[in-house]
Structure 1
Amino acid sequence: MRDLRLNMQDIARSGHVTRWHSVRCARNQTLAEHHYLVAMIARELLRRLFGPDLSAETRLRVLEYALIHDTPELLMGDLPSPLKQRIAEIAGERNPITRIEGELSPELIEYRRALAGSPLAEIVKIADLMDACLFIREEGIGRHAALVADKCEALLRQRIQDASARFPELNWDQVLSLYAHLRGETGPDNRVLFEQTQTECLRKE
Structure 2
Amino acid sequence: MSHSFFALLSRMKYIHRWALMRNAREENLSEHCLEVGILTHALCLIGNKKLNKKLSVDRAVLRALYHDAAEILTGDMPTPVKYRKEELKTAYKKVEKEAEERLLSTLPDYLEEEYRKVFFPEEEENTAYENKLIKAADKLSALIKCEEELRSGNQEFATAAASTRKKIEEMAEELTELKIFMEDFLPAYGKTLDELTE
Interval containing the TM-score (normalised by the shorter chain): 0.7 to 0.9
Unaligned runs of at least 5 residues, structure 1: 1-5, 165-169, 197-205
Task: Provide closer, same or farther for how the CA distance between residues 130 and 64 of structure 1 changes in structure 2, counting only shifts above 3 A.
Answer: same
CA distance in 1: counterparts of 2:122 and 2:25, whole angstroms = 30
User: Which aligned runs of 4 or more in structure 1 are off by greater than 4 angstroms?
Assistant: 52-56, 112-117
CA distance in 2: counterparts of 1:85 and 1:116, whole angstroms = 26
The alignment partner of 1:183 has SS state of helix
Instruction: Give 1:138's aligned residue.
Output: 148
Counterpart among 78, 86, 90 of residue 89 in structure 1? 86
Counterpart among 168, 177, 183 of residue 177 in structure 1? 183
After TM superposition, give the deviation of residue 89 of structure 1 in Å.
2.1
Instruction: Give 2:10's aligned residue.
Output: 12
Counterpart among 148, 164, 178 of residue 160 in structure 2? 148
Task: Provide closer, same or farther for how the CA distance between residues 104 and 138 of structure 1 changes in structure 2, counting only shifts above 3 A.
Answer: same
Q: Percent identity?
A: 21
- Which residue identity lines up with residue 154 of structure 1 in the other structure? K
Contact 2:14 2:28 (8 Å CA) reproduced: yes
CA distance in 1: counterparts of 2:157 and 2:7, whole angstroms = 33
CA distance in 2: counterparts of 1:184 and 1:71, whole angstroms = 29
After TM superposition, give the deviation of residue 134 of structure 1 in Å.
0.4
The alignment partner of 2:141 has SS state of helix
Instruction: Give 1:126's aligned residue.
Output: 136
Instruction: Give 1:59's aligned residue.
Output: 57
Instruction: Give 1:78's aligned residue.
Output: 76
- Report the count of equivalent residues: 178
The alignment partner of 2:135 has SS state of helix
- 1:149-197 CA deviation, whole Å, 9 max, x = no partner? 1111111111112x24xxxxx5553132245344247xxx764465x7x
Taking structure 1 as the reference length, the TM-score comes to: 0.73
Taking structure 2 as the reference length, the TM-score comes to: 0.75
Contact 2:100 2:119 (8 Å CA) reproduced: yes
CA distance in 2: counterparts of 1:112 and 1:133, whole angstroms = 30
Unaligned runs of at least 5 residues, structure 2: 102-115
After TM superposition, give the deviation of residue 69 of structure 1 in Å.
0.5
Instruction: Give 1:199's aligned residue.
Output: none
Computing the radius of gyration over CA atoms, which structure comes out larger, 1 or 2?
1
Task: Provide closer, same or farther for how the CA distance between residues 180 and 100 of structure 1 changes in structure 2, counting only shifts above 3 A.
Answer: same
CA distance in 1: counterparts of 2:122 and 2:18, whole angstroms = 23
Contact 2:36 2:138 (8 Å CA) reproduced: yes
CA distance in 2: counterparts of 1:116 and 1:51, whole angstroms = 16
